[in-house]
């Protein structure tokens, strides 16, 4: 039996003491690596719930799904096999103890009242560990699938109203009317409110000028793509993002990055494995489709970023962590020294990749003072609730 009180206030995992926070990204779908190799991840609740236990016991701060409605190909393409991020997050919230459980939501596909209710419910299930990852929409076949008029040039105008409604529903005690261009609400209300105070954190990935402004204004965590992984460039990019949020909106935000982990005997072997997955066995049709939409939606992006888009698409973007445990710990240390607050890791084979990372890389990060020991594993949220009810 544990003496933990599920009703007691707790620090949200994203705001805990570790200097470098860690999460896992994309295991509710086929992962972020566009490969046809049989090592590719295949999602199921039975499998991903086991991965959730590994992540929980290792003390990671975040489990982040992605939202995908339309495959990067026809209806049979594996990229369309994605578990719903709200339902999945609710189940993870009931079966884990430590990490924040995220839901990823497209503002163009889900009404804010529905998203607010779902998020508040998951926050209750998880004892205040929910985070909302807001995506404003970019993949046109996915948006067209829902019908209606979708103007990619106005997606942030729409998202401004959407997130404003979410925040009001989560925090205002009474009903309210909302008369906007995209939403007209009459006596909108939400009960119960989220367990988190004043409300659950928000993550957003904004790389364009308008996207960065949206994240700086509304998000607690900005999830960025790093086109130049040199220490100087990363430091400048992160500093610019944080200063923009502080100077324009008076807000201190975290900046997180994304990293594909391929652990091998050295960095060259890790790179060779990446090429094997994404070149020899790459899903080139999906890679080209993904890259074409990224370029289309970043027409003003610097050329050096555009040149990296196809390779980034193949591996899901982010800073590559290739090599042995020391190599990977060194790269993570560099990111932390450059001001990155957290890294979402992803793997081709999540089970073997996580196991090796937890056994060999995490101890090095603890030795360097970037992370403390994993919190005591205190059982699932559902088990704690049952114990509390019977006390």
pLDDT of residue 2: 30
Q: How far apart are CA 153 and CA 126, in angstroms?
A: 36
Q: How far apart are CA 144 and CA 130, in angstroms?
A: 29
Alpha helices in 106-181 (DSSP H): 112-125, 140-144, 155-171
Alpha helices in the chain (DSSP H): 45-58, 85-95, 112-125, 140-144, 155-171, 209-218, 231-249, 267-275, 284-296, 303-307, 309-315, 325-337, 350-356, 362-367, 381-390
CATH-assigned architecture of domain 13-390:
Alpha-Beta Barrel (3.20)
The phi, psi pair for 228, rounded to 5°, reads: -120, 110
Place of tokens 């990619």: 152
Smallest CA-to-CA distance from 58 within 358, 310, 363 is with 358
Tokens of 103: 């839901």
Tokens of 229: 């992984």
pLDDT of residue 312: 54
Task: List Cα–Cα distances, 280 to 76, 189, 260, 352, in angstroms.
Answer: 21, 53, 18, 21
Domains of the chain, by residue range, sit at 13-390
pLDDT of residue 58: 97
- pLDDT tens for the chain, residues 1 to 391: 233 344 455 789 999 999 999 999 999 987 777 777 888 788 899 999 999 999 999 999 999 998 777 666 666 666 657 899 999 999 999 999 999 999 999 998 899 999 999 999 999 999 999 999 999 866 667 777 777 666 767 889 999 999 999 999 999 999 999 999 999 999 999 999 999 999 999 999 987 889 899 999 999 999 998 888 999 999 999 999 999 999 999 999 999 999 999 999 999 999 999 888 888 887 777 666 666 665 555 544 555 554 555 555 555 567 899 999 999 999 999 999 999 999 999 999 999 999 999 999 999 999 999 999 988 765 555 444 444 444 4
Instruction: Count Cβ atoms within 10 A of the Cβ of residue 264 and give its class: 0-12 exposed, 13-18 middle, 19 or more buried.
Output: middle
Q: How far apart are CA 37 and CA 22, in angstroms?
A: 27
- Given a contact cutoff of 8 angstroms between Cβ atoms, the answer to whether 134 and 201 are in contact is no
pLDDT of residue 153: 74
- Given a contact cutoff of 8 angstroms between Cβ atoms, the answer to whether 72 and 286 are in contact is yes
């Amino acid at each position: 039996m544990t003496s933990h009180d599920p009703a007691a206030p707790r620090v949200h995992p994203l705001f805990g003491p570790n200097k470098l926070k860690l999460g896992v990204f994309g295991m509710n779908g086929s992962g972020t690596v566009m490969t046809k190799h049989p090592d590719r991840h295949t999602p199921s609740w039975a499998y991903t719930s086991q991965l959730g236990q590994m992540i929980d016991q290792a003390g990671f701060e975040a489990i982040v799904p992605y939202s995908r409605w339309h495959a990067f190909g026809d209806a049979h393409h594996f990229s369309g096999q994605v578990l719903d991020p709200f339902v999945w997050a609710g189940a993870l919230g009931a079966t884990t103890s430590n990490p924040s459980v995220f839901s990823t939501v497209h503002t163009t596909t889900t009404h804010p009242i529905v998203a607010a209710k779902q998020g508040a419910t998951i926050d209750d299930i998880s004892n205040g560990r929910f985070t909302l990852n807001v995506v404003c929409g970019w993949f046109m076949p996915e948006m067209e699938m829902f019908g209606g008029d979708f103007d990619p040039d106005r997606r942030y105008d729409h998202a401004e109203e959407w997130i404003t409604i979410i925040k009001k529903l989560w925090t205002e005690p009474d009903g309210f009317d909302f008369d906007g261009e995209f939403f007209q609400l009459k006596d909108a209300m939400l009960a119960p409110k989220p367990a988190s105070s004043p409300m659950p954190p928000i993550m957003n990935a904004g790389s364009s000028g308008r996207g960065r402004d949206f994240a700086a204004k509304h998000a607690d965590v900005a999830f960025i793509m790093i086109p130049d992984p040199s220490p100087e460039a990363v430091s400048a990019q992160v500093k610019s993002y944080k200063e923009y949020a502080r100077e324009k909106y008076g807000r201190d935000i975290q900046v997180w990055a994304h990293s594909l982990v391929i652990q091998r005997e050295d960095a060259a072997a890790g790179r060779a494995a990446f090429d094997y997955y994404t070149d020899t066995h790459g899903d080139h049709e999906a890679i080209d489709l993904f890259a074409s939409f990224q370029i289309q939606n970043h027409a003003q992006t610097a050329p050096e970023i555009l040149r990296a888009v196809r390779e980034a698409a193949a591996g899901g973007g982010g800073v590559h962590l290739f090599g042995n445990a020391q190599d990977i710990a060194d790269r993570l240390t560099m990111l932390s020294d450059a001001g990155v607050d957290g890294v979402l890791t992803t793997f081709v084979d999540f089970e073997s990749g996580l196991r090796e990372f937890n056994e060999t890389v995490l101890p090095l990060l603890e030795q360097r003072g970037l992370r403390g020991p994993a919190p005591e594993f205190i059982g699932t949220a559902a088990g704690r609730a049952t114990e509390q009810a019977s006390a």
